[in-house]
Structures are given as C-alpha cells and as structure tokens.
Structure 1
Amino acid sequence: MDQENNQENHLKRVLQLYPFDVGEVHLLESRSGRTTWEVSTDQGIKILKQAHMKPRRMLFIAGAHNDLVQKGIPITPIHKTKNGAICIGAEDHAYVLYDHIKGNEMIYYNKEQMKKVFDFAGKFHHASKGYVPAAESKTRSRLNKWHKLFRWKLQELEGHKMLAQTYPDEPFSVLFLEYADKMLERGRNALKELDEGPYEQWIKQSIEDKSYCQQDFTLARFTEVNSEPFMKELHSITYDLPSRDLRILLNKMMKKLSVWDTDFVIELLRSYDHSYPLTRDQYSVLWTDLKFPHLFCAIVHKYFLSQKRSWGDEKYIWALQNIIAVEDSKEQFLNELSEITEAIKEGERGEKAEQ
C-alpha cells in the first residue's frame, strides 16, 4: 500500500509540471521497462509514458518526436511542461506526455494499409533529415556497426550448431541442423557484401543528412485516422540506415504471411520509393540485410536461451518451420536484385506518366 501511495504521489508531482487541470489517472500498461497511464485533463485525454532510460536518452527521442510534429508528419503532438521542457527526467527513468489518439486498428494482412505504412515510412525517413538534438542529449548510433552485428550473430549461430549436435535426437535440433549450414553461408556472403562499397557510401550520406531510423517499425505504434496511418508515439530512434527499418518491417510481414511474397514486396517498396526514392546501390544494401538470416538467428537464440518460457517445444518447432518457409521462398527474390529494382522504379515512372 505504501508503494502504491508513493507511486501515486510521484505521478501527481510529475503531472503538476504540465499546464493542465488533471482529473482521473488510469494505468494502461506496464511492461518491458515502459509504463503508460491514461490521464484525463481539461484539454482532453493524454497519455503519460514512463520509460526506464536515462533522461538524456529520452531527450534525444522526444526532440525527434517534436521535430517530426513540426515538419508535418502525422504523429501525436508531444506536450511541453510549464517551463517548456519536452520531457521530464528522474535518475534512471524519464517521462513524456502526448495526446491520446483514437483510430482504427492497422493489420499486417491488409495490403492497402501496409502500402500506406510504407509510404509513411518514406515520409518519416525524409523528415528525419537535418534533426539537430539538444546538446544535452544522449544520442545512439549503429552506423558502421553492421559488420560487428553480423559477425556476432554468425558466431552465436555456430555455437548453437555445436550445441544442437549434442542433442541429435531432439526435434528442434534436427530441423535446425538441417538448415544451419545454408543460413551460415548466406550470412557469411552478406557480411562480405558489406565491403563492396554501397554500404560505406550510404553511411557517409546518412551522416551528412543527419538522418535516423526508428529501429522497430511496427504497427503497434500506429492507428488509422481518416484512412491514413497515424503514429501514436515515437518509441525509439537511432542513427542508422533507413534500410534497417525496411528490413525489419518486411521480415515481420512475410513471417506473418508464412511466405516471401515477391509481388507484394515490390508493391510495398514502390510505395516507399514514391515518398523517398532510393538509388540502386542503396537497394543493394537492403538486399544484403535481407539476405542475412536475422529471423533464423532470432528464433534459434530464443530457443537455446529459453527466452519464451510460456512456449513448449511444439510452438518453437512451428516458429522455426515458419521462418524456414519464409527464408526458402525468399531465395529467388534475393537473386533478382536488378530485375526487382527495375520493377520498383518502373512502377514509379508509370505513375508519374499517368499524371
């Protein structure tokens, strides 16, 4: 009870820093180091988010959020305190307050919605250019770190292969070992491709642009307002290539579809390219990232580290089978970079010609 009272008093002190008359406060969610409350005020419903991160890191994210609002990106307005601060810091955690936006659910299986999300992603990456964070901000960058990430994942996959070989009759290990060498080879080839030039050139361009990516472009951050995607919050950002967001989103979608649908991917990337055209060299970097077996590494990592404690062996095996199906059906796509890039660009030119 004392802990609840302390939390309630702490929330009151935080909310008193904002220029609103505050009414009822309801806990919405508390997980993964983030807690959110719904706050009734004289100016409508607001969302208060507490994140377990250094305030200087939150300042980096909140500053970008506010910059996107000012540039006209459809994202919920972030509120400033009475003293003009865009976030509040308290030792190892920080707070932000923004509007509560009502809209319709967006789902990965709705093709029209997803094409609009990719169009949004292009506008988001374009708007990220030129962001200058406050001097006190703690920035984060993964530029020039792909080599290290790929090597680490390959080393871990090799370690898991050795471990699986000690359990030759275990169903998950049998299936994993059947595909491990193929995925290791693809991963090593992707690592070599990082040295071919386009990756380094894009890094230099990204540093000049002062652009960032979101890290985890997921529909959990979106709602649909007036038939268009609207971002409910900016969860995180880091300095990295836009292709990272595209790779994560494409892999996530195709995993849900249980197959790599090349025609659909072309439609999605056309929508993105219409808002934020990439060069053919930049698409080659995206292909390299898609070639690396991120999904395969992730499910194997989860299994051998028992990260999903509620999952039984059957669910792990189903998840691995699903990812293998996606990676197998992706093979032809990966070998048709030139043809698919042309299809993406021709789609854009065709649309322009009709206008």
Structure 2
Amino acid sequence: MPINHEPLFDVLSQYDIKVVSIRNESYKDKKGVWWIQTPDEYKILKKISNSEDTFKYILSAAEHLRKNGVNIPAVYKTKDGKDYVNINGTCYVLYEAVEGKNPSYNSPEDFRAIVRELAGFHAASVGFSPPDNTKPKIHLGKWVEQYTEQVEDMNRFYQTELEKSENDRIGKVIIEEFPAFYERAKQAIEGLKGKEYQDWVEKVKSRGGLCHQDFAAGNLLKNPSGKIFVLDTDSITIDIPARDIRKLLNKIMKKNGKWDLEILRKFIRIYQSENPLSFSEWTVVKFDLMFPHLFLGAMNKFYYKRDKEWSFEKYLKRINEMTALEKTITPVLENFDSIVYEEINQRKD
C-alpha cells in the first residue's frame, strides 16, 4: 500500500487524542513508523508487519518483560480499551515516545549499561508462556537444522562459482574464502549437536525465555536520567539467551573493526553480574560465535540481491569486510573457555 493511502486518520480516530501533526519516520510497504504530535507530547504510531495472532504474542511478551522491570515504551489503549487497531487485517499500535539518545559501545558507562540491560532482559523473560490464542515466534531447539540449511544453501552458490569458466571479483573471493568458513560452520554445528545446547533448550522449554533478536545500540534509548529503554520488540522470539548474546557481540566487534579479547572479557563479566550463565551455556555461545553468521549473511545478501539499491561494489565491500572481521575471531575462540572459566571462578571468589 502506498504511504499516502495509509488509513492513519481512521486509526487515530480510535484513540482519545487530538492530533496536531503527523510526520513519517520510516516506511516499507508492510510496516511504518510515524511521529504523532498532540498538544501535550509526541506519540509513536507503528504499522505492524506481523499477523494479528503473532502481534498478540509480541504484546504479551512485552507486557511480561515490563512487569519484570524491563523498560519498554508503554502502549496506549484505544477508546474501547484495546491495545491496537486492526484495519483490514493490518495492525496499528500507538506507543509512548521516549526522550533520549542511543547509547554508544565506545563509552565504558554505556557499554556496561547495554550489556547489563541485555542480561536483565533475559532474566526478566523467565516465566513467560505465550497465551493460547496467539501465534508465537519460536527458534528454540531449531539451530542445528537452520544453520545446516543456511550453510548448505551458500555451498550451492559456491559450487556454482566453481563450475563457471570465469568468475567476477565476488566469485573469486567466494572461491578463495568459502571452504575455510564451510569447515568452521560444520565444526560449530557439530558442537551444537552436543549436550550443552540440548540442556539449555530443555531449561528454557521448562522455565520460559525470550530473545529480542536485535538488541543493539540502535534499538536502545538512554533517557536523561540514564534509564535504558528497549525499542522495536516486533521480532521477539522464544529462544535461549545465546542468540542475543552472539548478535550483540557481533555488532560490538563490527563497530570495533575486529574481535578483541578484552572487550569480550568485559562483556562476560558484566553479563555474569546480572544473569549468570554456566560454563556449559557459555560453551553454546562459543559454538554460535564459531558459526560464520556475518560471512554467510553477506553472501546471502549478494546472491539473493536482498538490497535492490546496492551496487556490485557495495556488495563486494560488505563481503570483504565481513570476511576480514570473521578471520579476527580465531584467537577469541581459542581463548574463550579460559576467559569464561576465569570470570565464573572470579565471581565465586
């Protein structure tokens, strides 16, 4: 639906507010964000890409987290007390607008706040069970199958490059780099077939647990009093905490330009102070970091042309950058167990 055909006034008429102005923040056909100015304050209107049943699950997960101390923007009720407006099968929701700025990985204070907030998010998610009338997102227990599918999908593109009589510059990079990453992926998958992953999955199955899926500085706001708010919970899924830990570490190290043992050590120490994991659980994080998500993601982006506006040069740059970054993780993987062991025992002392 074109942006100018969105039923914004129909949606907003169902709320007890006076609209002064509307400004679009972002828009893709299935989802959008608008700033709604009222006489007293701004509010945020979101168009949701999920089905109504999945969105009901997302709202219930967010409410569980709020009740357990996670700062997530409040949802405004409609005139008839509903959490959202459904127009022709599409859901729209009105959130409070939080004042603040994105925290920075480079600030020691912000770094500590980000990692503590992630650990708190995972601790707060324990006990969550999706309501019966909802359709939850679930990644729990599916890693081996999903990771195998991802790497074998990219292996097919690698095999195609090998069969070509002539390769472009990206093809040459793939031929050169893919075999080592393929071996690393297979090693990671073998690790995830072990008892450590299965035990953690069973633990979350019985206790409940949520992952944000994009817990990063760009989806956090630090308000003037220093409180961290967690935004964009639309992708929230049922899974073990390792998923968020790996994604955030990848983002931090990408920003840093390379993997760094001291940054990793600080991350583990801060996380352990809020939501202690066992040595076995950190082993699962290690296997997830071993799987070359960033390299395979860059490959996937290119071969499936996921960004229509990207030029060949931009795809090449991304693949080269992710290749270089992934290669710097070797000393981290080699020292991972000893760092975790030290941090766990330091807490015991």
TM-score over 0.5 (shorter chain): yes
Tell me the CA shift for residue 189 of structure 1: 0.9
1:180 corresponds to: 178
Give 1:25's match in structure 2, choosing from 22, 26, 32: 22
Tell me the CA shift for residue 240 of structure 1: 0.8
Q: Do the aligned residues in 1 keep the contact of 2:261 with 2:332 (CA within 8 Å)?
A: yes
Q: Do the aligned residues in 1 keep the contact of 2:102 with 2:219 (CA within 8 Å)?
A: no
Change (3 A) 1:134 1:87: farther
CA distance in 2, matches of 1:86, 1:23: 22
Give 2:8's match in structure 1, choosing from 7, 11, 25: 11
Tell me the CA shift for residue 14 of structure 1: 2.0
- Does 284-293 or 76-85 show the bigger shift? 76-85
CA distance in 1, matches of 2:66, 2:293: 32
User: Percent identity, aligned pairs only?
Assistant: 25
CA distance in 2, matches of 1:233, 1:313: 31
1:148 corresponds to: 145
CA distance in 2, matches of 1:253, 1:288: 18
Unpaired stretches in structure 1, ≥5 consecutive residues:
351-355
1:287 corresponds to: 286
CA distance in 2, matches of 1:201, 1:339: 22
Change (3 A) 1:246 1:3: closer
Q: Do the aligned residues in 1 keep the contact of 2:53 with 2:133 (CA within 8 Å)?
A: yes
Q: Does residue 113 of structure 2 align to residue 113 of structure 1?
A: no
CA distance in 2, matches of 1:220, 1:145: 27
Tell me the CA shift for residue 242 of structure 1: 0.7
2:311 corresponds to: 312
Which amino acid is the alignment partner of residue 317 of structure 1?
A: L
- Report the TM-score, using the length of structure 1 for normalisation: 0.90
Q: How many residues align?
A: 346
Q: Do the aligned residues in 2 keep the contact of 1:20 with 1:43 (CA within 8 Å)?
A: no
Tell me the CA shift for residue 83 of structure 1: 2.9
Tell me the CA shift for residue 244 of structure 1: 0.3
Tell me the CA shift for residue 348 of structure 1: 4.0
Tell me the CA shift for residue 180 of structure 1: 1.0
Q: Do the aligned residues in 2 keep the contact of 1:55 with 1:90 (CA within 8 Å)?
A: no
Deviations 1:27-75 (A, max 9, x none): 2221263111112235522111011221111111112222222222122
Show the 5 A alignment for 1:199-210.
199-210=197-208
Q: Does residue 90 of structure 2 align to residue 93 of structure 1?
A: yes
Q: Do the aligned residues in 2 keep the contact of 1:65 with 1:78 (CA within 8 Å)?
A: no
SS of the residue corresponding to residue 46 of structure 1 reads: strand
CA distance in 2, matches of 1:301, 1:251: 17
1:301 corresponds to: 300
CA distance in 1, matches of 2:338, 2:98: 41
CA distance in 2, matches of 1:291, 1:3: 42
CA distance in 2, matches of 1:339, 1:50: 46
Calculate the aligned-residue CA RMSD, in Å: 2.2
- Does 103-112 or 43-52 show the bigger shift? 103-112
Change (3 A) 1:76 1:153: same
CA distance in 1, matches of 2:313, 2:117: 37
Change (3 A) 1:20 1:47: same
CA distance in 2, matches of 1:309, 1:61: 29
1:238 corresponds to: 237
Show the 5 A alignment for 1:181-220.
181-220=179-218
- Report the TM-score, using the length of structure 2 for normalisation: 0.91
1:353 corresponds to: none
